[in-house]
Amino acid sequence: MDRMLQLGPLALPWTLLVLLVAWQLGTVVHERLSARHGQGPGPHGWRLTLVALLAARLGFVVQYPAEYGATPWSVLDIRDGGWQPWAGLAAALLYVGLLWLRRSPWRQSASAGLATFAATWLAGLALLQASAPPGGAELPVWRGVALDARTIALPDLRGQPVVVNLWASWCPPCRREMPALLQARGRHPQVRFLWVNQGETPEVVARFASQQGLPASDVLLDPSTQLGPALGHKALPTTLFYDGQGRLQAVRTGELSAGTLAHHLARIAPSTR
């Protein structure tokens, strides 16, 4: 589960920061070794990066043909966070292997750069894993009033997977991801979807929910924005995925696509795949 570095309203995944640091170190090693051998950096630094990124994206997309097939343009929208990093690493290893087969003068520097990247990336992921708190966070002790006037206490929902979406009507990515969430709710009745509005009046929330077709029983009001900060997530939209035992299994900060939503749902309700 990815943790976030919160900088005011900006939330950055630690795994992304580790990836960027690893890529920068690998690039430096490749360029310095090339210079030591009397060569320029050559084209392989950016080519290797491009091949790895394309493979990582395609490795994710092919797992969800129905979701991406329904909206093919979303394959290009990498903001949805849909990546398969191991596919990217495998493609990078294949690329470097071809350099050795062709006896490219950059084969050693490219290999050293890739090795530096992989070692830094894997070490960073291991450090994040080791520093993670033991056990998964559980559904928080929080209750909110739904638009149908019923009070819902989150701990009472244990026994079924729960998706909690933190949103506001003024947030463009929140609005864009609503159709994907609604479609997933219809397809997976065993999963409880809750839309917890952050900081808006009941009138604004009710009007927006009616326009979007959101079920009144699943739209909760949080007028004082207590839940987001209590969970450690102030950025919108943020979607949290809890399994049937009420344990947090995944967090997605930023807009969800149908593919990334299906990916996270499979973690809390394997039957959704």
Which tokens is 269 given?
């309700």
Same domain, 177 and 248: yes
As a three-state string, the secondary structure of 221-237 is EECCCCHHHHHCCCCCC
* Per-residue confidence (pLDDT) for residue 70, from 0 to 100: 83
Question: Does residue 41 belong to any structural domain of this protein?
Answer: yes
Residue at which a domain ends, from 131, 166, 199: 131
Rounded Cα–Cα distance for residues 120 and 115 (Å): 8
pLDDT above 90 as % of the chain: 72
Total domains present in the chain? 2
Please indicate whether residue 48 or residue 8 has the higher confidence score (pLDDT).
Answer: 48
pLDDT given for residue 136 in this prediction: 65
Does 9 have pLDDT greater than 90?
no
Task: Let me know whether 35 and 111 are in one domain.
Answer: yes
Same structural domain, 115 and 195: no
Helix (H) or strand (E) holding 87: helix 85-101
Instruction: Name every residue whose Cβ is closer than 8 Å to that of residue 43 and which is 6 or more positions away in sequence.
Output: none
Mean pLDDT (whole number) for 88-108: 96
CB-CB contact of 41 with 30 (8 Å): yes
| Domain final residue pick, 102, 131, 160 | 131
246 CB burial (10 A radius; 0-12, 13-18, 19+): buried
pLDDT of 44 > 60? The answer is: yes
Instruction: Return mean pLDDT, the chain.
Output: 90
Bridge-based pairing of strands 162-167 and 192-198 is parallel
Instruction: Decide if 136 is inside a domain.
Output: no
Task: Please check whether residue 137 lies inside any domain of the structure.
Answer: no
151 occurs within a structural domain: yes
pLDDT tens for 224-258 read 999 988 888 888 999 999 999 999 998 998 899 99
Phi, psi of 242 (to 5 degrees): -115, 140
- Return the pLDDT at 113: 95
Residue with tokens 């943020």, as numbered in its chain: 238
Tell me: pLDDT of 8 over 80: no
Residue-level pLDDT at 194? 97
Domain closes at, from 74, 101, 131 = 131
Q: Which amino acid is at 272?
A: T
pLDDT over threshold 70, residue 91: yes
Structure tokens at 166: 């933190």
Q: Please tell me the distance from the alpha carbon of residue 241 to that of residue 234, in angstroms, as a whole number.
A: 16
pLDDT at residue 220 tops 80: yes
Comparing 4-18, 35-49, 109-123, the range with the smallest average pLDDT is 4-18
Would you state the pLDDT for residue 137?
Answer: 81
For 195, the domain range is 143-272
**Distance between CA 2 and CA 132 in Å, rounded?**
10
Q: How confident is the model at residue 7 (pLDDT cuts 50, 70, 90)?
A: low
Q: What is the structure's pLDDT at 230?
A: 87
Label residue 72 by pLDDT band (50, 70, 90): confident
Tell me how far CA of residue 152 lies from CA of 18, 144, 208, 221, in angstroms. 38, 5, 20, 10
Q: For 142-162, how does the pLDDT look when each residue is reduced to its tens digit (9 = 90+)?
A: 999 999 999 999 999 999 999
pLDDT tens profile 163-219: 999 999 999 999 999 999 999 999 999 999 999 999 999 999 999 999 999 999 999
- The pLDDT of residue 105: 93
For residue 272, pLDDT over 60 is answered with no
Instruction: Indicate which CATH number applies to the domain containing 240.
Output: 3.40.30.10
